[in-house]
Homo-oligomer: A and B are copies of this chain.
Amino acid sequence: MMNKRATAKDVADAAGVSRTTVSFVLNHTEGMRISEETRQKVMQAAEALNYHPDAAARSMVKGKTFILGFVIRQEPDKAYADLLLPEVMRGISEVASEHAYHLIFKPVPPADEKNSLTTLFLEHQVDGLIVSGPLANDQEIVDLFNANAPIILQGRIDYPNISSVDINNRKAAEKAVNHLISLGHQRIAFISNASLNYSSSKDRLTGYRRALEAAGFVYDEALVFYGDRTPDSGYQAMQNILRSSAKPTAIFIASDTVALGSLNALYQENIRVPEDIAIMGFDDIPLSKHLAPPLSTIHIPAYDLGWNAAHLLIKWLEHKEIPERDCILDTELIVRESCGSRHKDN
């Protein structure tokens, strides 16, 4: 017994009215006079038949899909390894739900022919896009934007007109490094969060450099190491530091996820944190405070990042309000134990 879904026609027949009337009643269409009696009949018929309007049909006539795309500009394995992402998603999906939008989530690495961003939008699978972690020169995004696609960026891009919801990575990094300097550290190493093709990585490195130079230290490339968003890369980078002649007294690791691997490497070598070396992270992933020792870091308002991006996008879609300014959210220095300025027993 294949229960076919009931259509508006079925409801109309059951209620003894026309499809038009059914549509008016169910959508509470303004300016249409329907007697209370018919309204009831329609409502009851719809209820009885368990009627739900077909999304595709509505989509076609409305010219909207009521679906938002959340796209990560990374390989799937890295995208899904990002521990901050779920919080961003939660922010987006909260707003989306509120406005009755759904969310398609998808990692779309740059230059991925078949699953390209463009396809997602041009096939009209989504009404608009939130793109996280664009490359600094992401031509596909620029093209899409110029083709009138509603896009909100999460991250900076070398193109002025596309608005973005982001943090000030440079300033935040400065804050972190300044704290280490204030604790008396003179040799501070740096491990990047990702390849410098990403603007966030570049900006965090710049912040590190500026803080050093502002304090009168020389920027030394021998103290700069690279991660690629994964704990393993942090482990590797730490190995490199330990085997190098760098001998820093503190390390600013521009990603808590990467720091995880670095801390593991230190643990294996019986190097104590913060007694032997001070560690400062970045991101404040949800578990940083649970590490041993709890990780000092820069808090990113991940949920708010998602929340704001979704809000701007939906405003754009519903009221044609194209955001004019970037939305830059505040970060916060979180001092825990890994950088040595506070002790367990405080």
Interface residue ranges, A against B (CB under 8 Å): 2-3, 5, 50, 52-57, 59-60, 65, 67, 76-77, 80-81, 83, 85-87, 89-90, 93-94, 97, 102-107, 115, 119, 122-125, 147-148, 231, 235, 257, 260-261, 263-264, 267-268, 270, 286-287, 289-294, 344
Given contacts A3-B147, A5-B122, A122-B52, contact A86 B80 (CB under 8 A): yes
Separation of A287 and B60 alpha carbons in the complex (Å): 45
Separation of A119 and B106 alpha carbons in the complex (Å): 23
Separation of A115 and B65 alpha carbons in the complex (Å): 17
Separation of A46 and B53 alpha carbons in the complex (Å): 32
Question: Would you call B76 and A65 a contact (CB within 8 A)?
Answer: no
- Residues of chain B with a CB closer than 8 A to A264's CB: 289-292, 294
Question: Would you call B268 and A290 a contact (CB within 8 A)?
Answer: no
The 4 closest A-B CB pairs, nearest first, are A56-B59, A52-B122, A80-B86, A80-B90
- Residues of chain B with a CB closer than 8 A to A103's CB: 104-106
Closest-CB distance, A143 to chain B (whole angstroms)? 10
Question: Would you call A290 and B260 a contact (CB within 8 A)?
Answer: yes
Separation of A65 and B55 alpha carbons in the complex (Å): 9
Separation of A5 and B55 alpha carbons in the complex (Å): 20
Question: Would you call B65 and A124 a contact (CB within 8 A)?
Answer: no
- Residues of chain B with a CB closer than 8 A to A52's CB: 119, 122-124
Stoichiometry (number of copies): 2
Question: Would you call A287 and B290 a contact (CB within 8 A)?
Answer: no
Q: Which of B65, B105, B286 contacts A105 (CB 8 A)?
A: B105
Q: Nearest B residue to A63 by beta-carbon distance? A: B56
Question: Would you call A123 and B54 a contact (CB within 8 A)?
Answer: yes
Separation of A124 and B235 alpha carbons in the complex (Å): 46
- Residues of chain B with a CB closer than 8 A to A77's CB: 90
Separation of A318 and B2 alpha carbons in the complex (Å): 17
- Residues of chain B with a CB closer than 8 A to A3's CB: 147-148
- Residues of chain B with a CB closer than 8 A to A57's CB: 56, 60
Separation of A290 and B55 alpha carbons in the complex (Å): 45
Closest-CB distance, A294 to chain B (whole angstroms)? 7
Question: Would you call B119 and A287 a contact (CB within 8 A)?
Answer: no
- Residues of chain B with a CB closer than 8 A to A289's CB: 264
- Residues of chain B with a CB closer than 8 A to A102's CB: 104, 106, 125
Q: Nearest B residue to A112 by beta-carbon distance? A: B97
Question: Would you call B5 and A124 a contact (CB within 8 A)?
Answer: yes
Separation of A235 and B286 alpha carbons in the complex (Å): 14
- Residues of chain B with a CB closer than 8 A to A94's CB: 76
Q: Which of B86, B267, B286 contacts A292 (CB 8 A)?
A: B267
Separation of A322 and B102 alpha carbons in the complex (Å): 27
Question: Would you call B55 and A104 a contact (CB within 8 A)?
Answer: no
Question: Would you call A106 and B86 a contact (CB within 8 A)?
Answer: no
- Residues of chain B with a CB closer than 8 A to A85's CB: 86
Separation of A263 and B290 alpha carbons in the complex (Å): 8
Question: Would you call A60 and B65 a contact (CB within 8 A)?
Answer: no
Most B CB atoms within 10 A — which of A77, A103, A115, A267?
Answer: A267
Q: Nearest B residue to A54 by beta-carbon distance? A: B124
Question: Would you call B286 and A231 a contact (CB within 8 A)?
Answer: yes
Given contacts A81-B86, A106-B102, contact A53 B123 (CB under 8 A): yes
